[in-house]
Amino acid sequence: MTELRIAIVGFGKIARDQHVGAIAATAGATLAAVASRNASLPGVPHFATIEELLEKGPPIDAVSLCTPPQVRRAQAAAALAAGKHVMLEKPPGTGVAELDPLIAMAEEAKRTLFATWHSRYAPAVEPARAWLLTQRIKSVHINWKEDVRVWHPGQGWIWEPGGLGVFDPGINALSILTRILPRPVFVTAAELAFPANCQAPIAANLTLSDIGGLPVTAEFDFRQTGPQSWDILVETDQGRMTLSGGGRRMAIDGETVAEAPDQEYRELYGRFVKLTATGARDVDLAPLRLVADAFLLGRRNIVEPFVD
C-alpha cells in the first residue's frame, strides 16, 4: 500500500496536540513536511508558507490545513490547483459560499476535499445516533462551556471576523447534533454576547427546531472556569440520553452504555486515507450553516471587554 504523504500547513496547538500523533498512528499515512511561519518539527522538512512548500518542498500527496479559518480558502485553492488532496480542520472556512468553488475545483481535479468534524468521531456519537433512531425525541439541550484561556491562549484570530469566537467549540456540538438527530434542524433565534473589544462572541444561546417542531436549545460560553462542560441532553419517551465529555460517554438515565478513549483524529485520518484512494469528497456544511444562521438571526449584546 502506497503511503499518503501529508504536509501539515499551520503548526499551532491543535496540529501539535492532535494531528502529528494521529498521522503517526494511521496506517497508510506519513507526515512529509510542515509549513508554518512560527513553528517547526524536528526532523521534518519545514517551509514558511504553503506556496514555498508547493514550490520547493519534498513530494507530497495531500495537505492538512490547520491554519486559522480566515486564510484556508486561498490555501486550499492553491493545494488543489497543484493537484493535492486537501483536509480542512474545522470550521472549513469563514463562510458557507466560499466552499462551493473549492468543491468544484476538487471535483474537476478528481482530488479529495475533506471538511472535518472531529467531534463526530467521538466514540459514543454513533451509538447515540443508532439509539435515537428508535426513540421518540421530546427535546434536546446542549451545554457546551469551556475556558478560552486554556484552549486558545493568545490566539487573537479567534476574536476577529471569521474567527467564530465561542462558536469555534460550539460548532463541535452542532456537528454532533446534526449527526445524531434523524431530521435536519434550523436556527429560530439566538442571543450573542460580544465583548466590547472583540468582533466575535464570547457566549451564545441558540434556539433551534426541526420541521416537526422539536425544541432544541444550546448554551455556549467561553468564560467557564474549573470543570469544563461538553454535554448534550436528549429527552425521549424511553428516558434521558446524555452525551458527555464531548461525545466520549453515552448514558441512559444515568447508566453508562458506551464509553471509550478519544481517538477522534486518528479516525479522521483513517477516513482521509480512504477518501484519497478514490479521490472522493466529503464536505458536509450543515454545522457551518447553523453558525451562519445564528449570526444572521442573533441579537447582539455588548458585554465587558475580553483580556487574555
The answer to whether the beta carbons of residues 245 and 228 sit under 8 Å apart is no
Cell numbers at 169, concatenated: 467549540
What pLDDT, on a 0 to 100 scale, did the predictor assign at position 62? Answer: 98
What pLDDT, on a 0 to 100 scale, did the predictor assign at position 308? Answer: 87
Give the separation between CA 148 and CA 7, rounded to whole angstroms. Answer: 28
What pLDDT, on a 0 to 100 scale, did the predictor assign at position 2? Answer: 82
Give the separation between CA 3 and CA 77, rounded to whole angstroms. Answer: 23
| pTM of this structure | 0.95
Structure letter (DSSP) for residue 305: P
Structure letter (DSSP) for residue 223: B
Q: Most distant CA pair in the chain: distance in Å?
A: 60
Give the separation between CA 165 and CA 294, rounded to whole angstroms. Answer: 13
Please, what sign has the CA dihedral across residues 260, 68, 147, 164? negative
Nearby residues of 214 by Cβ (< 8 Å), 6 or more positions away = 137, 139, 140, 181, 183, 185
Q: Which of 13, 56, 84, 90 is catalytic?
A: 90
Cell numbers at 105, concatenated: 475545483
Cα dihedral 94, 96, 99, 100 in deg (nearest 10): -160
Nearby residues of 253 by Cβ (< 8 Å), 6 or more positions away = 239, 240
CATH architecture of 4-115: 3-Layer(aba) Sandwich (3.40)
145 flagged as catalytic = no
Angle between helices 72-81 and 99-109 (to 10 degrees): 10
Q: Which residue spans of the chain are classified as CATH 3.40.50.720?
A: 4-115
Give the separation between CA 48 and CA 203, rounded to whole angstroms. Answer: 34
- Residue pLDDT, tens place only, 82-138: 999 999 999 999 999 999 999 999 999 999 999 999 999 999 999 999 999 999 999
Q: Measuring CA to CA, which residue among 87, 115, 80 is closest to residue 99?
A: 115
pLDDT tens per residue across all 308 residues of the chain: 589 999 999 999 899 999 999 999 999 999 999 999 988 999 999 999 999 999 999 999 999 999 999 999 999 999 999 999 999 999 999 999 999 999 999 999 999 999 999 999 999 999 999 999 999 999 999 999 999 999 999 899 999 999 999 999 999 999 999 999 999 999 999 999 999 999 999 999 999 999 999 999 999 999 999 999 999 999 999 999 999 999 999 999 999 999 998 899 999 999 999 999 999 999 999 999 999 999 999 999 999 999 98
The answer to whether the beta carbons of residues 231 and 225 sit under 8 Å apart is no
Q: Does domain 119-260+292-303 have CATH number 3.40.50.620?
A: no
Q: Which residue spans of the chain are classified as CATH 3.30.360.10?
A: 119-260+292-303
What pLDDT, on a 0 to 100 scale, did the predictor assign at position 1? Answer: 55
